[in-house]
Amino acid sequence: MNLFISFLQKTIGQKIVVGLTGLGLCLFVLIHMLGNLLILSGPEAYNNYAYKLHDFPGLLLLEFGLFIFFIGHILLSILLQLKNKKAKGSISYQKEAQGIKKTNFIHKFILSQGILLLIFLVLHLWSFKFGTYYETELNGKKVRDIYLLVVENFQKPLYTFGYSFILLILFNHLLRGFPASFKTLGLSHPLYVSWIEKLAWFFSLIVTFGFLAPIWYIYIYL
Ligand code: HEM
């Protein structure tokens, strides 16, 4: 335990944890997006998926792990950014004085994007996980009608447009964060950098469109 705490106190340890938790969260968004695609198959398929997920015995442990990943990723990213700012402060001041542009616009806002995603997550859990509990019958059992709640919410323009905006931010965050995680973990050999960047584009586009498809389907057709 002491070894882990002293590892976390070192910048390299913090970077490794941010990289690992980042890749873990990428896996979560991919699985969550695939699950949400079942909305396109109708209420039975989506409610059945949600029911099976809630019936899984290790779910509480997984949810706790997910929570630790989110918190660890966000807190350590903030810490690293603050350290980075402090270390670079004098250099960027010199550069600015010489008229050299500071950081690129998107990179500069990666932390604000992360914080916005965190606010989104709190509101998201509030409206879905802890939202209205409708009931329906599935194979003779009473189960939560999560499909009805999702449809009810995404019929409102505020939800569909708001989520679309957040998904653009998620796209940008994944596009920057995915290759950065590989780099931090020492997995991005110069020979593979362009492949990792292509994979980042592919992954970010798939995840974003995968989330956008069911919500716009609901908004337009249901
Ligand atoms: C845009 C379409 C999305 C839809 C329709 C959607 C739907 C849902 C629903 C219905 C739940 C509750 C599941 C349940 O308790 O049965 C949920 C949980 C959750 N969602 Fe989403 N979600 C979307 C996007 C996202 C995004 C973009 C993220 C993260 C960046 C996210 C993160 C989460 C998390 C962390 C949970 C809690 C998981 C758990 O504890 O089991 N969701 N989502």
> Residue 146: which domain range?
2-85+104-221
CA distance 85 to 209: 34
26 lines ligand 1 (CB under 6 A): no
* Contact of 170 with 207, CB cutoff 8 Å: yes
Task: Work out the widest C-alpha separation in the chain, in whole angstroms.
Answer: 73
Question: Above 70 in pLDDT, residue 102?
Answer: no
Domains identified in the chain, total number: 1
Predicted TM-score (pTM) above 0.85: yes
Identify the CATH number of the domain in which residue 111 sits.
1.20.1300.10
Q: What pLDDT, on the 0 to 100 scale, is given for residue 137?
A: 95
Mutate to test the pocket of ligand 1, among 37, 120, 128 (most ligand atoms within 8 A of CB): 128
**Is residue 142 assigned to a domain?**
yes
Sign of torsion over alpha carbons 69, 75, 80, 81: positive
- For 137-192, the pLDDT digits (tens) are 998 999 999 999 999 999 999 999 999 999 999 999 999 988 888 888 888 778 88
pLDDT tens-digit series, residues 48-60: 999 999 999 999 9
- In-domain check, residue 40: yes
Decide: 51 in ligand 1 pocket, CB within 6 A.
no
SS3 content of the chain, % helix, strand, coil (to 5): 80, 5, 15
Residue 150 lies in a domain: yes
Residue nearest to atom 24 of ligand 1 (CA): 211
The answer on pLDDT for 36 being more than 90 is yes
**Distance in angstroms (rounded) separating the CA atoms of residues 128 and 204:** 24
